[in-house]
Amino acid sequence: MCFDDGGEGDLAPVIPLFGAGGDAAGRGRSQGASASRPSADDAAAWNNTWADRATEMPGVSAPHDPPADDEIAAAGEATLLRKLRTRSLSEREARDVLAACEVDETSIGAIVARFLGNGYLDDARLAEQLLHTGVARKSQGRSALARSLAQRGIARDVIDEALGALPDDEFARALEFARTKVRAMRGLERDVALRRLAGQLARRGYGGLSLEVARRALDETTPRSSGSGVRFEP
């Protein structure tokens, strides 16, 4: 590859290609110039100089030192800030983001402490947000709520405190959810409907309440009969 910046001063010097054993004409032409022929040391020095200058030319990359720890930490912090602009993160999730950016442990601790102090990270507030979503949008019971918070890396004591602040309306919320599912079980045997509805409640995190709530919802919607089938009212 050629590098041309338009100046003759950057051209490489001519180095003789033939040694003392060349043809006669070559010997004749070189007799007057033998004193100025570069030595092996001169050629090595010129090669090093040319290599140094080549790395300064456009399109030629010089070897770079690996980034310092503070540069890596700054890049990791910038990545964490970008993620926090789109969604809330727990302290553990923030640490995972920084670790994925290869930030060292000391810097991770310093960054997280600074973000906690600035309010960018707040596990208690995040727990409240997740509980609100789980209750209002997903009709989840306490066990499912606790599980979803734990999966986000929130500490057990923070989870317990957040759950303790919820109103004591677990049964009412479970029954409300069950009532929305009963109509989809029209024509099923009562026992089959009971098992399916109780299973749905259990998966929502209502645990020991599931069977009792399922019975109550079915009793409200379907009359008991001596026959084996269950006829839902239109």
Return the top range by mean pLDDT from 66-75, 95-104, 174-183. Answer: 95-104
The overall average pLDDT reported for the chain is 79
Any idea of the CA torsion for 175, 180, 181, 183, to the nearest 10 degrees? Answer: 120
The pTM score is 0.62
Any idea of the CA torsion for 11, 13, 14, 18, to the nearest 10 degrees? Answer: -140
| Mean pLDDT value across residues 112-128 | 97
Q: How far apart are CA 213 and CA 172, in angstroms?
A: 9
Banded model confidence at residue 65, pLDDT cuts 50, 70, 90: low
CB half-sphere exposure, 10, CA atoms < 13 A: 12
Task: Provide the total of helices (H) and of strands (E) in the chain, helices listed first.
Answer: 11, 0
| Mean pLDDT value across residues 138-158 | 95
pLDDT digits over 12-58, tens only? 444 444 444 444 444 444 454 444 555 555 555 545 554 555 455 55
DSSP 76-142: HHHHHHHHHHHS---HHHHHHHHHHTT--HHHHHHHHHHHHHHTS--HHHHHHHHHHHHHHTT---H
How is residue 120 written in tokens? 């960018």
Determine the distance from the C-alpha atom of residue 121 to the mean position of all C-alpha atoms in its chain, rounded to a whole number. Answer: 16
pLDDT number for residue 59: 52
pLDDT number for residue 69: 83
**CATH-assigned architecture of domain 69-121:** Orthogonal Bundle (1.10)
Q: How far apart are CA 102 and CA 112, in angstroms?
A: 15
Domain boundaries, the chain: 8-54, 69-121, 169-234
Strand runs labelled E in 168-220:
none
Is the per-residue pLDDT at 97 higher than 90?
yes
Banded model confidence at residue 74, pLDDT cuts 50, 70, 90: very high
Q: How far apart are CA 199 and CA 230, in angstroms?
A: 19
Lowest model confidence (mean pLDDT) among 8-12, 154-158, 182-186, 205-209: 8-12
CA angle 87, 88, 89 (to 5 degrees): 115
pLDDT number for residue 45: 53
202: helix, strand or coil: helix
